[in-house]
Structure 1
Amino acid sequence: MMFTNENGSQRTLILVHPKSNHGGSKRPSKSFKEDQAALDYALEGDEMLYIFEDGSVYLMVRGARSGADWGASIAESFLHSGLELNKSEVLGMCFNEDAEASKAFIGELVDYVIDHHQQAIAP
């Protein structure tokens, strides 16, 4: 599936830039076309750079792989990626088998909606 950002530019690749370990060494950076391949390679704390054909780059730091931290991380990625939200993907995450992740995901989305609603009605 090809992702398109708000100005119509398509994503060309995902660059995973691993964090350094305690000894100062790190795994090599790798680029991927597919989300799942990038997520499989990335470990907690690794930077994931989503690069689009117009030169725009969106950064996400790989968080936990399950639980509330993971759900919140995925919601932040949805909200701050600049990508058009796909309702079926959002609903799929809401009904994820990991109940804690789903609750955190929904909580982040609700906080976002409340914050934007308050900003819209503020004088």
Structure 2
Amino acid sequence: GMLTLISLALVHLFGTAFPVLSPALGVFGAFVSGSCTVSGILFGPLQYETALALKLSAPSILGLQMAGGAIGNMICIHNVVAVSSTAGVTGKEGAIIRKNLLPCAVYTAAVLLVYVLLS
């Protein structure tokens, strides 16, 4: 099916470097969908198939996906809008997201470092 084809394309594009992409897919999924859960639903099966194709630990790759989804909540539009309206700073959503991009990248790198150290 389509999922397998996309997974094989990722295998050919990234090979064993795929784990570097895993949390970024989680971040992207949360940014777009507004939820770590939905990010997991969107990209979890793809991550699982790719992990199996590369003979990597599927639980570890799915852990990277979910960690990325949790990290992505800090830049997810839905959450930033909710926080902005609660804090009374509407109209500053873009600035808030920009300020959170660096911490998001640092946390993602930290998750990757833990993955490398433990795998």
Under a length normalisation based on structure 2, what TM-score does the superposition of the two structures give?
A: 0.35
The one of the two structures with greater contact order (alpha-carbon pairs below 8 A, sep at least 6) is 2
Higher strand proportion, which one?
1
